[in-house]
Structure 1
Amino acid sequence: MSRRLEKMEGQVVGRVVRLFRNRLRLRAGSSQDNGGNAVKESERAQEHTLPNFAGGPHFFEYLLVVSLKKKHSGDDYEPTITYQFPKRENLLRGQQEEEERLLSAIPLFCFPDGNEWAPLTEYPRETFSFVLTNVDGSRKIGYCRRLLPAGRGPRLPRVYCILSCIGCFGLFSKILDEVEKRHQISMAVIYPFMQGLREAAFPAPGKTVTLKSFIPDSGTEFISLTRPLDSHLEHVDFSSLLHCLSFEQILQIFASAVLERRIIFLAEGLSTLSQCIHAAAALLYPFSWAHTYIPVVPERLLDTVCCPTPFMVGVQMHFQQVVMDSPMEEVLLVNLCEGTFLLSVGDEKEILPPKLQEDILASLDQGTKELQTSEQINEHVSGPFVQFFVKTVGHYTSYIKREANGQGHFQERLFCKALTSKANRRFVKKFVKTQLFSLFIQEAEKSKHPPAGYFQRKILEYEEQKKHKKPREKTVK
């Protein structure tokens, strides 16, 4: 990305969030204004680094309860933090200011719908998430459960929010179940459970941590929290995306994201919005979306859709007209409720090489009825897109020339020229100019060790398949 474009993005996003950024100095899921910080953000997005406090790495930073309180003037309600664990004491002045900025941002994202609320007797519970990107590039995820508290008569919804640096949606959904269950008894019952969680070590992929917790009238309980074995998919659930859209539409969204375009998702429910946008971003693995990224846009930040720079955002359906009336440059506007595209650039079906598009769709169509667990669904959906990157850019390590000190230099021209398919080469020549690829390759250049992980494993498997296939092809000829 050119310096001019980076500067423009910083200026535009700054104007958009000025309503609250002056107080918070936080950018809601936005990329950084310079390449160095963006690289740091990409590292964190890929590795899900843990926060380090005095006691070592923790599951979470805060558990918060956000309630709606009537304003002093008028009948409107504003979201307010009414419970916080842990309470931080003896903080230095700078740390205290940072904590205040962070905590003042969270209510806005727990109730992004605006302030037109009224007491209710029924309300469907919702589980959703938001992302905050701090000025230093570090990302925090807010895992939210919004529901109507126990009681009689009309009352207002409340949100339990767990703030963490770890992306593991299934695991935190289970933790929210436990928090919700205890809060129906007493806030005092939550404390020992969350304290035990803070003292527990975050498990490795495929491993389980077991917590002991006492509940009055129920006795001692043992709660097991397990991380998925395949950690690159633990922060996502593709079920909602499959329920809302066809494979062809998902492929067009992927194509738009790969070229870093502007994508807006519309839906009624907060759960659907946040799950679908996280799923769309996860299709880009092993690359990380480093631009503006807001799973659920609060009402006060709807001007985000006017940004001329790349973004991926979710907007609640009752703001549809506001979005449609906004001056927007080329954008893909996805209606998740109807399963339609309300706006598009028009060339989404032509971005990816035709043969590779066919391969993705054939893989997605195959064996979908046999899928049962969320892990099986995630692997089935993600696999063809990982394979797409294996076939187009999986040879990247062969074109990083290293100096004596280990520093690498990517040979872009030779890398593109190595592709024998003209269609693949045309696509890759565009893709290498994106920030997605630039951040990825910068990390590969800096790394002095051979790459490891799921993507590299798939590259090696593909190379082995090609070796075994060639002798058979020669024999047939």
Structure 2
Amino acid sequence: MGSRIRENVKQIFHCFCEVSCPRPGEDHARIIDKFPYDYQEEEVLKSISKFTYPCEFEHTAIQHYSFVFTNEDSKWTFGFCRHDPKTDAAFVFLSSLPWHDTFYKLLNQISEVSQSYNPVEQRKYFLEALYICDIPTNGTLVIPWNGEQTFVSRCPNVSELPSIPENRNLTEYYSAADAHNMAAIFASLLHERRIVFVSRRLPRLSACVQAAASLLYPMHWQHVFIPVLPHPLVDYLLAPMPFLIGAPVPVFQSINRSDLAEVVVFDADTNTLQSPFDDLQNLPADVVSSLRRELRSQAMLGDGMARAFIRALVMLIGGYRDALRFHPGQRITFHSDAFVESRPSPVQPFLRKVLQLQLFQQFIEERLEMLNGGLGFSDEFEKEICLYSGRSSSRLRQQYKEWKRTVRREGTAFFKTMRNKANPAMKSAVKTVREHGREVRAACKDIRSRLRDSQLEKKSTADTNPPRPRPRLKATASYKRRPLHVTKAESRTRSESAPAAPGAPPIPPARSYRHIPALDHQVAAAMALAGSSSSSVATSAGPEETPAPAPAAGSSSSSLTAPSAGGRSARSSDAEELLREYGLDFSALRLRAGAATPDDVPSLPPTPPSTSPPSSLPPTPPATSPPRTPPLPARPGG
């Protein structure tokens, strides 16, 4: 059956009727005029009188509404009515075109012509011009009539989605139902429930039913469809098959509500929905959330509302193209399992139910018929499928973001629950641990403060009393003024004339002194020098040195000799001067055999053996050089 809209329509309307209001005591209204005059469809004419005045209703203002006939071929024929409270008659157009707004304008034009100076003739001219007019292909209906006047109106494009406020039905439905109720009614339609719209106003009633059915595009409602139910057909509300009916309040109140089992009822006057089913929750969660989000947005002007529902259908059944199978020489077929697997796993349980829906089966049959007949199709639904396929690459990222938000939200709720439901003992324990923690932190802070104060105190004391450096004796001015030079002959004579005592380590060779030895060593050297100067042994004044006499037996190994320097003997004045520099009394010393006795001079520690080779001495200065002081003895351990 596919679409319920008839195709290849040749005429704009089938019949025009003027229907009088039923008089008191009459069961139905009467047709007082029609065009064309030879229209002989008696059953249709009887139905027109029933649907034009379906029940008693108040009409204090001009009202436009529509009704629908279902023909033998299951195609719909639309009736468009105009009620004027100033007259007791209504104007009706019967057509196969679902041009609601266009026919409402035509009805207004008929009413205006009927009030002219010659209403019968003028209306006849206008209806004849309209009847013979071809279906416009450019979207604009232009009707020249009476030789001077022209009627112009825009026609709806069936390839476009209905928009607000151009589409009166959609605008009325949007103002009557909120986002949740529209989504719930949409879910009930997808489950093919028995649905009833109720209202006291016929324009609102018919508009809401027509709009709800149009939001199923590209599918079409395949069951009983009556936008305005006349009172003689009230038994349709008790039918066991699915239906979508608009019942005026007087008609709906004429039946027993207990007889309406498993019926979804929406009151368009109060925006209340009563349903024994939970159809909205049976839809996939991502489809519902996306639909609600788009319906609650502010971008409902234009085709935003219709596009929100078509995107929901794309998410549900847009994968039908993945289930089409084509083999050379055979017709294109539809594979049900491939259709279910074309969508994510959360959607698959619902898709298995969709396969059993008559409206989906008719949709697939219509698409296969077009494909096998060589006809292509490119409607808004197919365009949205392409857009959805382009966005599917980012679907995993979006799901990850939603999962992360859910985990964060549930984690926060969990911790809040644990905090609110903690028993007093747990709270007390937490408080105790927290207090002890503060005490421990305070104690640690105090210890760190004491350590820091102690370190500062030590540092302050060290700055006030710096450590005394190790005393060292610097060279005298006379020593600096008279550099020491020893000849090779002197070194050789010294080493031969002063042999070491038995068992004692050898005395290291004389060398130039970089550092001043300790005080006791200098004293011993001075004493040895003094003994050498007072000796009776005379030194020759020649250029060659005279070997020093060997020490007496039993003398200490620490006794030192001072060889003559520069070919002259050491003078006592020089020894006295040196002793005075060190604060010693020369007269108090007892000299024996040119050297200090062991009783007078403290014994020196044994000199450790030297591992370094003797350093080379500088050459003897020329005879014209100033007199030089004799070299000091080597420092023990030096």
The amino acid that maps onto 2:76 is R
Which 10-residue stretch deviates more, 165-174 or 316-325? 316-325
Q: State the Cα deviation string for residues 55-87 of structure 1 (Å, max 9, x = none).
A: xx11100111111354xxx73353011111012
User: Is 2:345 the counterpart of 1:421?
Assistant: yes
1:176 aligns with: 107
Q: What do residues 405-448 of structure 1 show as CA deviations (whole Å, max 9, x unaligned)? A: 552221111210222232x1122111121001000111222222
- The normalised TM-score by structure 2 is 0.58
Which of 418, 441, 464 pairs up with 2:390?
Answer: 464
Larger Rg: 2
Question: Which residue of 2 is the match for residue 3 of structure 1?
Answer: none
Deviations 1:110-163 (A, max 9, x none): 01005xx8xx9x73221011111112323210011112345xxxxxx3211100
Tell me the equivalent position of 1:268. 200
Partner of 2:515: none
Tell me: CA distance 1:320–1:100, structure 2 relative to 1, closer, same or farther (3 Å).
Answer: closer
Moved over 6 A (4+): 470-473
CA-to-aligned-CA distance 1:312-364 (integer Å, 9 cap, x gap): 001111233324435122111111111112x3113133121112111111112
Q: Check 1:323–1:408 CA distance in 2 against 1; reply closer, same or farther (3 A cut).
A: farther
Distance of 1:221 and 1:463 partners within structure 2: 51
* Paired residue secondary structure (1:266): strand
Q: Which residue of 1 aligns with 2:307?
A: 383
Q: What do residues 194-237 of structure 1 show as CA deviations (whole Å, max 9, x unaligned)?
A: 11112222123x621222234xxxx9322212123464545762
Separation in structure 1 between the aligned mates of residue 19 and residue 159 of structure 2, nearest angstrom = 30
Question: Closer, same or farther in 2 for the Cα pair 1:277/1:455, shift >3 Å?
Answer: same
Q: 1:220 aligns with which of 148, 159, 169?
A: 148
Q: Does 1:165 align with 2:125?
A: no
CA gap of 1:271–1:471, structure 2 versus 1, over 3 A, is closer
The runs of 5 or more residues in structure 2 that have no matched partner are 402-638
SS at match of 1:225: strand
2:213 & 2:111 partners in 1: Cα distance? 29
Distance (whole Å) between structure 1 residues aligned to residue 161 and residue 397 of structure 2: 35
CA 111–50 in structure 1, closer or farther in 2 if over 3 Å, else same: farther
Find the partner of 2:262 among 330, 337, 341: 330
Match of 1:361 in 2: 292
Structure 1: any 5+ residue segments left out of the alignment?
1-38, 52-56, 90-95, 151-156
Contact 1:281/1:288 (<8 A) preserved:
yes
Aligned position for 2:369: 446
Amino acid in the other structure paired with 2:369: K
Name the CA distance, whole Å, in 2 between partners of 1:124 and 1:77: 24
Change in Cα spacing, 1:43 to 1:368, as seen in structure 2 (3 Å) is: closer
* Bigger RCO of structures 1 and 2 (CA < 8 A, at least 6 apart): 1
Indicate if the aligned counterparts of 1:208 and 1:224 stay in contact, CA closer than 8 A: yes
1:109 to 41, 47, 51: 51
Equivalent position SS for 2:45: helix
Could you tell me how far 1:398 is from its partner in structure 2?
Answer: 2.2
The DSSP-based 3-state class of the residue aligned with 2:216 is coil
More off after superposition, 321-330 vs 183-192: 321-330
Give me the whole-angstrom Cα distance separating, in 1, the residues matched to 2:97 and 2:81: 14
Aligned to 2:60: 123
Alignment partners' CA distance in 1, 2:266 and 2:335: 37
The Cα of 1:402 is off from its aligned counterpart by 3.0
Aligned CA-pair RMSD: 2.5
Whether the 8 Å CA contact 1:149–1:184 is kept in 2: the answer is no
1:79 and 2:79 aligned: no
1:198-217 correspondence to structure 2 within 5 Å: 198-204=131-137, 207-214=139-146
Q: 1:111 to 1:405 in 2, by over 3 A?
A: farther
Q: Taking every aligned residue pair, what percent have the same amino acid on both sides? A: 25
Q: Is the 8 A contact 1:407 1:446 kept in 2?
A: no
| 1:255 partner amino acid | A
Say which SS state the counterpart of residue 80 (structure 2) adopts. Answer: strand
User: CA separation of 1:460/1:69 partners in 2, compared to 1, >3 Å: closer, same or farther?
Assistant: same
Q: Deviations over 1:146-183 (max 9, x none)?
A: 12345xxxxxx321110000111111111111111112
Amino acid at match of 1:426: P
Tell me what 1:240 maps to: 172
Evaluate the alpha carbon distance shift between residue 472 and residue 284 of structure 1 in structure 2; reply closer, same or farther with a 3 A threshold. Answer: closer
Is the contact made by 2:3 and 2:219 (CA closer than 8 Å) also made in structure 1?
no
- Please name the residue that 1:58 is paired with: 11
Closer, same or farther: CA 420–67 of 1 in aligned 2, 3 Å: same
| Matched pairs, number | 390
- 1:284-303 aligned within 5 A: 284-303=216-235
* Normalised TM-score (structure 1): 0.76
What aligned pairs does 1:387-402 form with structure 2 within 5 A after superposition?
A: 387-402=311-326
Counterpart in 2 of 1:17? none
- Asked if 1 retains the 8 angstrom alpha-carbon contact of 2:161 and 2:307, the reply is no
**SS at 1:394 equivalent:** helix
Alpha-carbon separation, structure 2, partners of 1:298 and 1:175: 24
**Residues 50 and 165 in structure 1, CA contact (< 8 A), matched pair in contact too:** no
Q: Is the Cα–Cα contact under 8 Å of residues 191 and 279 in structure 2 kept in the other structure? A: no
Please state which structure has a larger fraction of its residues in strand: 1
d(CA) in 2 for partners of 1:126, 1:196: 25
Matches within 5 A, 1:241-260: 241-260=173-192
Alpha-carbon spacing, 1:314–1:69, altered in 2? closer, same or farther (3 Å): closer
- Is 1:431 the equivalent of 2:366? no
Match of 2:122 among 177, 180, 189: 189
Name the SS of the counterpart of 1:209 in structure 2.
strand
